[in-house]
Amino acid sequence: MWLVVANSSSGKGKATVLASEFITLLGQKNYEYKLISESTFDKTSEYLKSEIGSGKYTKLVAVGGDGLVNLCLQSVAQKDITLGVIPAGTGNDFARAVGVNGKSTKQIFELITTQQPTKLDLGRISSSSGVRWYVQVLSTGFDAVVNSLANKITWPKGKSKYTIATILIISRFKPISYKIEIDGKKLDQNAMLLSIGNGESYGGGMRICPGASNSDGLLDVLLVRPVSRVVLLTIFPKVFKGNHIPHPKIDTYKAKVIKISADTAAYADGELVSDLPIEVSNVPRALSTWLAI
Protein backbone atom coordinates (compact mmCIF):
# COMPACT_ATOMS: atom_id res chain seq x y z
CA MET A 1 0.00 0.00 0.00
CA TRP A 2 1.19 3.51 -0.86
CA LEU A 3 1.38 6.44 1.56
CA VAL A 4 1.57 9.83 -0.16
CA VAL A 5 2.64 12.79 2.00
CA ALA A 6 2.26 16.31 0.64
CA ASN A 7 3.27 19.64 2.11
CA SER A 8 0.25 21.67 1.10
CA SER A 9 2.12 24.93 1.70
CA SER A 10 5.12 23.96 -0.46
CA GLY A 11 5.71 25.84 -3.71
CA LYS A 12 2.61 28.04 -3.31
CA GLY A 13 0.31 25.05 -3.76
CA LYS A 14 2.52 23.22 -6.27
CA ALA A 15 2.81 20.19 -3.98
CA THR A 16 -0.98 19.85 -3.78
CA VAL A 17 -1.25 19.83 -7.57
CA LEU A 18 1.55 17.29 -8.00
CA ALA A 19 0.14 15.05 -5.28
CA SER A 20 -3.24 15.10 -7.04
CA GLU A 21 -1.54 14.11 -10.31
CA PHE A 22 0.29 11.26 -8.59
CA ILE A 23 -2.70 9.76 -6.78
CA THR A 24 -4.71 9.97 -10.02
CA LEU A 25 -2.04 7.79 -11.65
CA LEU A 26 -2.14 5.41 -8.68
CA GLY A 27 -5.92 5.16 -9.01
CA GLN A 28 -5.70 4.41 -12.72
CA LYS A 29 -3.53 1.40 -11.89
CA ASN A 30 -5.80 0.37 -9.00
CA TYR A 31 -3.07 0.82 -6.40
CA GLU A 32 -4.27 1.30 -2.83
CA TYR A 33 -3.08 4.53 -1.27
CA LYS A 34 -3.65 7.07 1.47
CA LEU A 35 -2.90 10.79 1.23
CA ILE A 36 -1.61 12.99 4.04
CA SER A 37 -1.86 16.67 3.15
CA GLU A 38 -1.48 19.02 6.08
CA SER A 39 -0.41 22.67 6.25
CA THR A 40 1.84 22.42 9.33
CA PHE A 41 4.94 20.41 10.23
CA ASP A 42 3.48 19.23 13.55
CA LYS A 43 0.23 17.91 12.06
CA THR A 44 2.08 16.17 9.23
CA SER A 45 4.54 14.60 11.67
CA GLU A 46 1.80 13.35 13.99
CA TYR A 47 -0.29 11.89 11.16
CA LEU A 48 2.77 10.33 9.51
CA LYS A 49 3.93 8.57 12.69
CA SER A 50 0.45 7.17 13.24
CA GLU A 51 0.13 5.82 9.70
CA ILE A 52 3.63 4.32 9.57
CA GLY A 53 3.00 2.73 12.95
CA SER A 54 0.05 0.84 11.49
CA GLY A 55 2.41 -1.35 9.45
CA LYS A 56 0.22 -1.11 6.32
CA TYR A 57 2.68 0.62 4.00
CA THR A 58 5.61 -0.53 1.90
CA LYS A 59 6.03 2.66 -0.16
CA LEU A 60 6.05 6.31 0.86
CA VAL A 61 6.17 9.22 -1.58
CA ALA A 62 7.00 12.71 -0.28
CA VAL A 63 5.61 15.54 -2.41
CA GLY A 64 7.50 18.63 -1.32
CA GLY A 65 11.00 19.82 -0.53
CA ASP A 66 13.97 18.56 1.46
CA GLY A 67 12.32 19.44 4.76
CA LEU A 68 9.47 17.03 4.06
CA VAL A 69 11.92 14.37 2.86
CA ASN A 70 13.84 14.75 6.12
CA LEU A 71 10.63 14.42 8.12
CA CYS A 72 9.77 11.22 6.27
CA LEU A 73 13.28 9.84 6.83
CA GLN A 74 12.66 9.78 10.56
CA SER A 75 9.85 7.25 9.98
CA VAL A 76 11.39 5.04 7.28
CA ALA A 77 15.10 4.79 8.19
CA GLN A 78 16.15 1.14 8.57
CA LYS A 79 12.61 -0.03 7.77
CA ASP A 80 11.19 -2.03 4.85
CA ILE A 81 9.50 1.06 3.43
CA THR A 82 10.77 2.59 0.19
CA LEU A 83 10.90 6.39 0.04
CA GLY A 84 10.41 8.34 -3.17
CA VAL A 85 10.13 12.06 -3.81
CA ILE A 86 8.23 14.32 -6.17
CA PRO A 87 10.15 17.60 -5.81
CA ALA A 88 8.10 20.69 -5.02
CA GLY A 89 10.40 22.67 -2.75
CA THR A 90 13.10 25.30 -3.02
CA GLY A 91 16.21 23.15 -2.69
CA ASN A 92 15.23 19.65 -3.83
CA ASP A 93 18.70 18.28 -3.09
CA PHE A 94 17.52 14.74 -2.36
CA ALA A 95 15.63 14.79 -5.67
CA ARG A 96 18.89 15.82 -7.36
CA ALA A 97 20.77 13.04 -5.62
CA VAL A 98 18.40 10.33 -6.86
CA GLY A 99 17.98 11.89 -10.32
CA VAL A 100 14.33 12.94 -10.34
CA ASN A 101 14.65 16.72 -10.05
CA GLY A 102 13.10 18.25 -13.16
CA LYS A 103 11.17 15.12 -14.07
CA SER A 104 7.39 15.14 -14.49
CA THR A 105 5.00 13.39 -12.11
CA LYS A 106 4.29 10.79 -14.80
CA GLN A 107 8.00 10.10 -15.33
CA ILE A 108 8.52 9.64 -11.61
CA PHE A 109 5.43 7.42 -11.38
CA GLU A 110 6.75 5.19 -14.14
CA LEU A 111 10.15 5.02 -12.47
CA ILE A 112 8.93 3.96 -9.05
CA THR A 113 6.31 1.52 -10.32
CA THR A 114 8.66 -0.31 -12.70
CA GLN A 115 12.12 -0.13 -11.16
CA GLN A 116 13.42 -2.13 -8.22
CA PRO A 117 14.49 0.04 -5.28
CA THR A 118 18.06 0.31 -4.09
CA LYS A 119 19.66 1.04 -0.72
CA LEU A 120 21.47 4.23 0.27
CA ASP A 121 23.43 5.20 3.36
CA LEU A 122 22.10 7.64 5.92
CA GLY A 123 23.74 9.89 8.47
CA ARG A 124 22.70 9.19 12.06
CA ILE A 125 22.86 12.10 14.51
CA SER A 126 22.93 11.45 18.26
CA SER A 127 22.48 14.41 20.59
CA SER A 128 20.84 15.36 23.87
CA SER A 129 17.63 15.74 21.83
CA GLY A 130 17.70 12.08 20.72
CA VAL A 131 18.44 10.47 17.35
CA ARG A 132 17.84 12.11 13.97
CA TRP A 133 18.56 10.91 10.46
CA TYR A 134 19.69 12.84 7.39
CA VAL A 135 20.48 11.95 3.79
CA GLN A 136 22.43 14.89 2.34
CA VAL A 137 24.47 17.34 4.42
CA LEU A 138 24.83 18.32 8.06
CA SER A 139 26.15 21.83 8.55
CA THR A 140 27.49 23.84 11.48
CA GLY A 141 29.13 27.23 11.64
CA PHE A 142 28.87 29.90 8.96
CA ASP A 143 26.83 27.86 6.51
CA ALA A 144 24.38 26.83 9.24
CA VAL A 145 23.81 30.48 10.20
CA VAL A 146 23.31 31.33 6.52
CA ASN A 147 20.89 28.40 6.21
CA SER A 148 18.92 29.60 9.21
CA LEU A 149 18.53 33.11 7.78
CA ALA A 150 17.80 31.82 4.25
CA ASN A 151 14.93 29.75 5.66
CA LYS A 152 13.32 32.98 6.84
CA ILE A 153 13.66 34.77 3.49
CA THR A 154 10.45 34.35 1.50
CA TRP A 155 11.66 36.17 -1.62
CA PRO A 156 13.56 35.58 -3.81
CA LYS A 157 13.46 31.79 -4.04
CA GLY A 158 16.21 29.30 -4.83
CA LYS A 159 19.93 30.04 -4.77
CA SER A 160 19.48 33.82 -4.61
CA LYS A 161 18.24 33.80 -1.04
CA TYR A 162 21.39 31.95 0.09
CA THR A 163 23.52 34.61 -1.61
CA ILE A 164 21.57 37.36 0.17
CA ALA A 165 21.86 35.55 3.52
CA THR A 166 25.61 35.13 3.00
CA ILE A 167 26.11 38.86 2.46
CA LEU A 168 24.01 39.74 5.51
CA ILE A 169 25.80 37.30 7.84
CA ILE A 170 29.42 37.64 6.77
CA SER A 171 30.08 41.11 8.23
CA ARG A 172 29.48 39.92 11.79
CA PHE A 173 30.56 36.26 11.71
CA LYS A 174 33.55 35.12 13.82
CA PRO A 175 35.39 31.77 13.80
CA ILE A 176 34.04 29.06 16.07
CA SER A 177 36.16 26.97 18.47
CA TYR A 178 35.50 23.28 17.70
CA LYS A 179 36.49 20.12 19.51
CA ILE A 180 36.34 17.35 16.91
CA GLU A 181 36.91 13.60 16.97
CA ILE A 182 37.17 11.89 13.57
CA ASP A 183 37.18 8.10 13.84
CA GLY A 184 38.91 8.44 17.21
CA LYS A 185 41.43 11.10 16.15
CA LYS A 186 40.98 14.26 18.24
CA LEU A 187 41.35 17.75 16.83
CA ASP A 188 40.87 21.18 18.42
CA GLN A 189 40.37 23.73 15.67
CA ASN A 190 38.96 27.21 15.18
CA ALA A 191 36.94 27.17 11.96
CA MET A 192 34.46 29.16 9.91
CA LEU A 193 32.37 26.09 9.25
CA LEU A 194 32.34 22.33 9.54
CA SER A 195 30.06 20.26 7.30
CA ILE A 196 29.49 16.50 7.19
CA GLY A 197 28.20 15.16 3.90
CA ASN A 198 26.43 11.88 3.32
CA GLY A 199 25.59 13.36 -0.10
CA GLU A 200 27.34 16.23 -1.80
CA SER A 201 24.82 19.08 -1.98
CA TYR A 202 22.49 21.26 0.05
CA GLY A 203 20.76 24.61 -0.34
CA GLY A 204 19.50 23.97 -3.86
CA GLY A 205 22.53 22.37 -5.48
CA MET A 206 25.38 23.89 -3.45
CA ARG A 207 28.05 21.18 -3.73
CA ILE A 208 29.65 21.69 -0.32
CA CYS A 209 31.12 18.15 -0.28
CA PRO A 210 31.81 17.48 -3.97
CA GLY A 211 32.18 13.80 -4.73
CA ALA A 212 30.49 12.64 -1.54
CA SER A 213 28.60 9.40 -2.16
CA ASN A 214 25.35 8.25 -0.58
CA SER A 215 26.52 4.64 -0.88
CA ASP A 216 30.23 4.38 0.01
CA GLY A 217 29.84 3.68 3.73
CA LEU A 218 31.64 6.90 4.67
CA LEU A 219 30.87 10.49 5.58
CA ASP A 220 32.77 13.39 3.98
CA VAL A 221 33.98 16.05 6.43
CA LEU A 222 34.78 19.57 5.23
CA LEU A 223 36.37 22.15 7.53
CA VAL A 224 37.17 25.75 6.62
CA ARG A 225 39.88 27.17 8.87
CA PRO A 226 39.76 30.87 9.86
CA VAL A 227 39.93 33.22 6.88
CA SER A 228 39.17 36.88 6.34
CA ARG A 229 35.68 37.94 5.35
CA VAL A 230 36.97 38.80 1.88
CA VAL A 231 38.46 35.32 1.41
CA LEU A 232 35.29 33.67 2.73
CA LEU A 233 33.30 35.69 0.21
CA THR A 234 35.54 34.36 -2.57
CA ILE A 235 35.23 30.76 -1.34
CA PHE A 236 31.51 30.52 -0.70
CA PRO A 237 30.19 31.29 -4.23
CA LYS A 238 32.42 28.51 -5.57
CA VAL A 239 30.42 26.00 -3.52
CA PHE A 240 27.63 26.06 -6.12
CA LYS A 241 29.88 24.23 -8.58
CA GLY A 242 32.09 22.45 -6.06
CA ASN A 243 35.12 24.50 -7.11
CA HIS A 244 36.06 25.54 -3.56
CA ILE A 245 38.25 22.44 -3.30
CA PRO A 246 41.23 22.53 -3.30
CA HIS A 247 41.88 25.63 -1.18
CA PRO A 248 44.76 26.00 1.32
CA LYS A 249 42.35 26.84 4.16
CA ILE A 250 40.01 23.90 3.53
CA ASP A 251 40.62 20.48 5.08
CA THR A 252 38.70 17.36 4.08
CA TYR A 253 38.39 13.95 5.70
CA LYS A 254 36.45 10.73 5.25
CA ALA A 255 35.17 8.91 8.31
CA LYS A 256 32.54 6.62 9.75
CA VAL A 257 32.00 8.43 13.07
CA ILE A 258 32.50 12.12 13.88
CA LYS A 259 31.98 13.80 17.25
CA ILE A 260 31.70 17.60 17.39
CA SER A 261 31.48 20.02 20.28
CA ALA A 262 31.16 23.80 19.90
CA ASP A 263 29.00 26.73 20.86
CA THR A 264 26.76 26.52 17.81
CA ALA A 265 23.88 24.51 16.34
CA ALA A 266 23.65 21.83 13.67
CA TYR A 267 21.35 21.77 10.65
CA ALA A 268 20.74 18.66 8.55
CA ASP A 269 18.98 18.61 5.17
CA GLY A 270 18.29 22.28 5.88
CA GLU A 271 16.44 21.58 9.13
CA LEU A 272 17.52 22.53 12.65
CA VAL A 273 18.65 19.44 14.58
CA SER A 274 20.03 20.61 17.92
CA ASP A 275 22.80 22.49 19.62
CA LEU A 276 26.17 20.78 19.77
CA PRO A 277 27.68 18.46 21.00
CA ILE A 278 26.59 15.75 18.60
CA GLU A 279 27.85 12.44 17.26
CA VAL A 280 27.35 11.69 13.58
CA SER A 281 27.79 8.21 12.11
CA ASN A 282 27.33 6.60 8.71
CA VAL A 283 24.73 3.82 8.63
CA PRO A 284 25.13 1.81 5.41
CA ARG A 285 22.07 0.81 3.36
CA ALA A 286 19.66 2.42 5.84
CA LEU A 287 17.30 3.91 3.23
CA SER A 288 15.37 2.15 0.49
CA THR A 289 14.67 4.40 -2.51
CA TRP A 290 14.51 4.55 -6.31
CA LEU A 291 17.30 5.91 -8.51
CA ALA A 292 16.87 7.53 -11.91
CA ILE A 293 20.63 7.78 -12.46
Render pLDDT for 135-171 as a digit per residue (tens, 0 to 9): 999 999 988 888 788 778 877 766 677 778 878 888 8
Name the architecture of domain 2-115.
Answer: 3-Layer(aba) Sandwich (3.40)
Tell me the mean pLDDT in the region 204-215. Answer: 92
Q: How far is CA 113 from the centre of its chain?
A: 24
CA separation for the pair 293, 289 (Å, rounded): 12
SS3 call for 158: coil
Distance between CA atoms of 98 and 121, rounded to whole angstroms? 12
- Domain locations in the chain? 2-115, 132-284
List pLDDT tens digits, range 210-255. Answer: 999 999 999 999 999 999 988 988 887 888 889 999 899 999 999 9
Q: Which residue has the higher pLDDT, 7 or 265?
A: 265
Domain topology for 132-284: Tumour Suppressor Smad4 (2.60.200)
Concatenate the DSSP letters of all residues of 214-243 into one string: TTSS-EEEEEE----HHHHHHHGGGGGTTT
Residues contacting residue 141 through CB under 8 Å, at least 6 positions apart? 176, 191, 192, 193, 194, 195, 224, 262, 264
Taking the C-alpha atoms of residue 260 and residue 187, their distance in angstroms, rounded to an integer, is: 10
